[in-house]
A and B are shown apart, each in its own frame.
Chain A
Amino acid sequence: MLSLALGTMITITSNHWVTAWAGLEINTLAIIPLISKSHHPRAIEAATKYFLTQATASALMLFSSMTNAWSSGQWDITQLTNPPSCLLLTAAIAIKLGLTPFHFWFPEVLQGSSLTTALLLSTAMKFPPTTILLLTSHSLNPTLLSTMAIMSIALGGWMGLNQTQTRKILAFSSISHLGWMTIIITYNPKLTLLTFYLYSLMTTSIFLSMNSTNTLKLSTLMTSWTKAPMLNTTLMLTLLSLAGLPPLTGFLPKWLIIQELTKQEMTTTATIISMLSLLGLFFYLRLTYCSTITLPPNSSNKMKQWSIKKPVNTLTPTL
């Protein structure tokens, strides 16, 4: 846990490629035992997949920084001038984050880990790569980023439709949101940051709620109201906020991103990504439907009370 924090700090505060890479490696190594804590074969498999992909990504990143150093003679992160290096770096970060077409590892890894680890993977582990993207955003290829972003949103939507495991659903929602983040990064990096913060907040609350009620499947979600009714209600609101419904907080980043895109004369792109988010809305609604909207009128026999609760956190996204 501590090494996670250490790795993140190192990456964020670096302005030399090697330190950034080192920080990322520390992060990777630290989270591997966390993923494989339960000694379940699926967890081990998830850890292996995670390690392989992240290692590839780190190697690519190092390679790109080396080629840049060879051609420009310096190791500054913000001075990424060599075009192939930029492309390679984009690819590397995409693998690390989980942008299409490099997203394949993400759902399985998330499925293999416990809910808390999944939370960490979705939020904390995304932070360093995003920082690197932010630092180098001025020299990256917008076309590539936009293409990857639109594909992510699309694929996140389509894949999420066919899932019943909540962790996988959240994985795809994460991919979708990453798409939203990346699409605006070359035009207004602050919006990316805003989206990331809000997304982390919302996802954290969802993961923690699901952790409290221990819902790993859609069918379990149906009976979660018996365990903690208040939590269930706020879960619904949070989910809808993730979807981006207007009065809730989740709408804010989407609105600002669309506005920024329109300013950049990319209205077609804006329309496309809003349309594709509708797919996401569908499965969020389905989750909401299962958890809160359809409640049987009777009370159940078993009322289990869980000791670990963080209900306070769920209220903040609705602000």
Chain B
Amino acid sequence: METALLLNTSMLLTLTIILTPMFLPLLLKNFQSSPQTLTTTIKTAFLVSLMPTTLFMYSGLDSITSYWEWKFTMNFKIPLSFKMDQYSMLFFPIALFVTWSILQFAMSYMASDPHITKFFSYLTAFLIAMLTLTLANNMFLLFIGWEGVGIMSFLLISWWHGRAEANTAALQAVLYNRIGDIGLIMSMAWLASTLNSWEMQQMFSPMETPTLPLLGLILAATGKSAQFGLHPWLPAAMEGPTPVSALLHSSTMVVAGIFLLIRSHPLLTNNKTALTLCLCLGAMSTLFAATCALTQNDIKKIIAFSTSSQLGLMMVTIGLNLPQLAFLHISTHAFFKAMLFLCSGSIIHSLNGEQDIRKMGGLQKTLPTTTSCLTVGNMALMGTPFLAGFFSKDLIIENLNTSYLNTWALLLTLLATTFTATYSLRMTLLVQAESTRTPTMTPMNENSPQTLNPITRLALGSTVAGLLITSFMTPTQTPPMTMPMLTKTAAIIATTLGLIFALELANMTHTMTHPKQNNLLNFSSTLGYFNILTHRLSSTNLLYTGQKIATHLTDLSWYKKMGPEGLADLQLMASKASTTLHKGLIKAYLSSSALSILVILLSL
């Protein structure tokens, strides 16, 4: 009894702590938030949130708390209820830890920004929305969180709103997310009409769910988590400041889509079509993103594509019917991806705004800590044994290998793993190794602890998080234990192959040959021609159809042609046709009369 009480109270305490700096300035007149206060708040919240998590880990206690009920109609009530189960319990400390590190980093990164407090409050608002999404026990609350993170993403990507590309990117993010929202709303409507409730508990039904709501959920995940088809917004979102990229587009927001699928996993379990769709979609996304990352020259874009690729991998896990493993990958991925972004942010700042890796090099000597953490992050991403990424990634590939599902998905995922190794090593080599290609006068320094501490903290997290989480999470499905040697080492072999390829390719750059354009290079560097093809085509088509329907269809066809003018034309046609018949040839007349008489006699 006390455990439940303690759990709920500490959870509430965490939330209140986070909400405090948002509401206090409204209540007290002379209270001003500052970046420092916000960072300290989040740090406190993190420490407090460890309490319910440890309680959960040692007692296995799930809790669902209802606070208030919105009586929508007589038989459809929407309670404000929080679900504290393994997913939300584990997500809280991870998210808060990562956010704390990012906020600390942002204090030094955005120090020159006059609106830094607003920036921090935006980030906090985003965090609140994300946590609402995680805690939600019904689709309504989840939808509130969903839209919240969408809006904050828009505001944060276009932080430097004077820049045209930033605005375009923010619009792209909002539009693509909106397309996903259509799917989510459709599923919510289906749920409301069939199950008469939006509670998560009502979804636990052993029968097979129809495919339609599941398609809606998958569409929502495609939009939010940048799967293939609705993916262009994620690389474009790199226009925002690096802390934004670190928080939103690596750890938290983009996993919202996957999280939705994890939460609605009972619905997905029995429907083979939906699962196969997830599997193939995920495999497609992961390979596509990895291919695009191979030829990128912007350091942030490489990391963005690697995020996209890992999201595809998470989708593959959902397709394998393993929600827990997907969540594990979300958690471990948060650590090393945030760290990669922060390292790249530090590098960019040190080089006075240079983001092109072709103009970096030899930074290992000048920025030792940052580059070491970068290496650690890349190795965790590749799935190096016993770092964070290994526990999740290797397990996923093992499960994929030992399952009886789609081989094509398996092949694509393995290929993507190889590519992951390749582009990570490429990034590392070009950034850190060999001789420097930067201009000579750069403000390169690692002196500020505010910059370094978060990075090192996250590096620690990347190393041990995998171990910690797997030790305390009880698997709901038995992991495959026995498999042939080749299958067990498949991931490692694929990664090593990628590394070898990357080394080979790096050696080729020593020969200073001008890279010739070939089809593969073009495909990869223009992101698979997707942006070019779809963006212009879809909007022109829509506008053209709109114009055609308004003017041609409505005005011209229906009001004129179908009505009076059409009738008049018909009559004119008939009239002219009959006039040509009456030419005055008596022979024709008589013969037609004879023919008619014949016809009459024969038919009647």
- The interface on chain B, measured as residues whose beta carbon lies within 8 A of the other chain's beta carbons, has a size of 21
Q: Is the CB of A158 within 8 A of B571?
A: yes
Hey, which chain A residues are within 8 Å of B571, CB to CB?
Answer: 158, 161, 279
Known: A141-B604, A144-B604. A107 touches B593 (CB 8 A): no
Q: Quick one: CB contact mask for B590-604 with A, threshold 8 Å, 1 for yes? A: 101100110011001
Q: Is the CB of B600 within 8 A of A162?
A: no
Q: Is the CB of B582 within 8 A of A107?
A: yes
Hey, which chain B residues are within 8 Å of A143, CB to CB?
Answer: 604
Bound Cα distance from A104 to B581, whole angstroms: 9
A92-145 interface (Cβ within 8 A of B): 95, 101-102, 104-105, 107-108, 141, 143-144
Bound Cα distance from A231 to B576, whole angstroms: 33
* Least CB distance, A14 to chain B, in whole angstroms: 24
B579 within 8 A of A: yes
- By beta carbon, the residue of chain B nearest A278 is B571
Q: Is the CB of B601 within 8 A of A101?
A: no
Bound Cα distance from A158 to B601, whole angstroms: 27
Q: Is the CB of A162 within 8 A of B601?
A: no
Q: Is the CB of B582 within 8 A of A104?
A: yes
* Least CB distance, A156 to chain B, in whole angstroms: 10
Pick the contact of B597: A52, A60, A104, A161 (CB < 8 A).
Answer: A60
B574 within 8 A of A: yes
Interface of A is mostly: helix
A228 within 8 A of B: no
Q: Is the CB of B575 within 8 A of A159?
A: yes
Hey, which chain B residues are within 8 Å of A108, CB to CB?
Answer: 584
Q: Is the CB of A52 within 8 A of B593?
A: no
Hey, which chain A residues are within 8 Å of B576, CB to CB?
Answer: 162
Q: Is the CB of B589 within 8 A of A53?
A: yes
Hey, which chain B residues are within 8 Å of A107, CB to CB?
Answer: 582
Q: Is the CB of A95 within 8 A of B582?
A: no
Pick the contact of B586: A91, A105, A144, A155 (CB < 8 A).
Answer: A105
Bound Cα distance from A56 to B593, whole angstroms: 10
Bound Cα distance from A108 to B596, whole angstroms: 20
Hey, which chain A residues are within 8 Å of B575, CB to CB?
Answer: 158-159, 161-162
Known: A91-B600, A158-B571. A102 touches B593 (CB 8 A): yes
A216 within 8 A of B: no
Hey, which chain A residues are within 8 Å of B601, CB to CB?
Answer: 84, 87-88
B578 within 8 A of A: yes
* Least CB distance, B341 to chain A, in whole angstroms: 76
A227 within 8 A of B: no
Q: Is the CB of A95 within 8 A of B604?
A: no
Bound Cα distance from A74 to B573, whole angstroms: 49
Bound Cα distance from A95 to B571, whole angstroms: 26
Hey, which chain A residues are within 8 Å of B582, CB to CB?
Answer: 104, 107, 159
Pick the contact of B604: A52, A60, A87, A105 (CB < 8 A).
Answer: A87
Interface of B is mostly: helix
Pick the contact of A49: B572, B578, B586, B600 (CB < 8 A).
Answer: B586
Hey, which chain A residues are within 8 Å of B574, CB to CB?
Answer: 158
Bound Cα distance from A107 to B581, whole angstroms: 13
A158-196 interface (Cβ within 8 A of B): 158-159, 161-162
Known: A143-B604, A158-B574. A52 touches B579 (CB 8 A): no
- By beta carbon, the residue of chain A nearest B577 is A158
Hey, which chain A residues are within 8 Å of B588, CB to CB?
Answer: 104
- By beta carbon, the residue of chain A nearest B580 is A162
Q: Is the CB of B590 within 8 A of A53?
A: yes
Q: Is the CB of A155 within 8 A of B578?
A: yes
Hey, which chain B residues are within 8 Å of A162, CB to CB?
Answer: 575-576, 578-579
Bound Cα distance from A161 to B569, whole angstroms: 13
Q: Is the CB of B596 within 8 A of A91?
A: yes
Instruction: Pick from A104, A108, A143 the residue with the most CB of B within 10 Å.
Output: A104
Q: Is the CB of B600 within 8 A of A87?
A: yes
Bound Cα distance from A84 to B571, whole angstroms: 36
- By beta carbon, the residue of chain A nearest B573 is A158
* Least CB distance, B294 to chain A, in whole angstroms: 72
Hey, which chain A residues are within 8 Å of B572, CB to CB?
Answer: 161
Bound Cα distance from A141 to B589, whole angstroms: 24
Hey, which chain B residues are within 8 Å of A158, CB to CB?
Answer: 571, 574-575, 577-578
* Least CB distance, B86 to chain A, in whole angstroms: 74
Bound Cα distance from A302 to B547, whole angstroms: 59
Hey, which chain B residues are within 8 Å of A48, CB to CB?
Answer: 586
- By beta carbon, the residue of chain B nearest A83 is B604
Q: Is the CB of B596 within 8 A of A101?
A: yes
Q: Quick one: CB contact mask for B547-583 with A, threshold 8 Å, 1 for yes? A: 0000000000000000000000001101111110010
Bound Cα distance from A104 to B597, whole angstroms: 15
Hey, which chain A residues are within 8 Å of B577, CB to CB?
Answer: 158
Known: A84-B601, A87-B600. A52 touches B590 (CB 8 A): yes
- By beta carbon, the residue of chain B nearest A101 is B596
- By beta carbon, the residue of chain B nearest A160 is B575
Pick the contact of A52: B578, B586, B592, B600 (CB < 8 A).
Answer: B586
- By beta carbon, the residue of chain B nearest A163 is B579
Bound Cα distance from A104 to B571, whole angstroms: 20
Q: Quick one: CB contact mask for B216-228 with A, threshold 8 Å, 1 for yes? A: 0000000000000
Q: Is the CB of B593 within 8 A of A101?
A: yes
Hey, which chain B residues are within 8 Å of A104, CB to CB?
Answer: 582, 588-589, 592-593
Hey, which chain B residues are within 8 Å of A95, CB to CB?
Answer: 593
Pick the contact of A105: B579, B589, B596, B597 (CB < 8 A).
Answer: B589
Hey, which chain B residues are within 8 Å of A87, CB to CB?
Answer: 600-601, 604
Q: Is the CB of B597 within 8 A of A91?
A: yes
Instruction: Pick from B572, B576, B596 the residue with the most CB of A within 10 Å.
Output: B596
Hey, which chain B residues are within 8 Å of A91, CB to CB?
Answer: 593, 596-597, 600
Sample of 17 A–B contacts (CB below 8 Å): A49-B589, A53-B590, A56-B590, A87-B601, A88-B597, A90-B600, A91-B593, A91-B597, A91-B600, A101-B593, A102-B593, A143-B604, A158-B575, A159-B575, A159-B582, A161-B575, A162-B579
* The 3 residue pairs across chains A and B that have the minimum distance between CB atoms: A104-B589, A161-B575, A101-B596
Known: A56-B590, A87-B601, A161-B571. 7 other contacts (CB 8 A): A87-B604, A95-B593, A101-B592, A101-B593, A102-B593, A158-B571, A162-B578
Q: Please give the residue numbers on chain A whose beta carbons come within 8 Å of chain B beta carbons, in ascending order.
A: 48-49, 52-53, 56, 60, 83-84, 87-88, 90-91, 95, 101-102, 104-105, 107-108, 141, 143-144, 155, 158-159, 161-162, 279
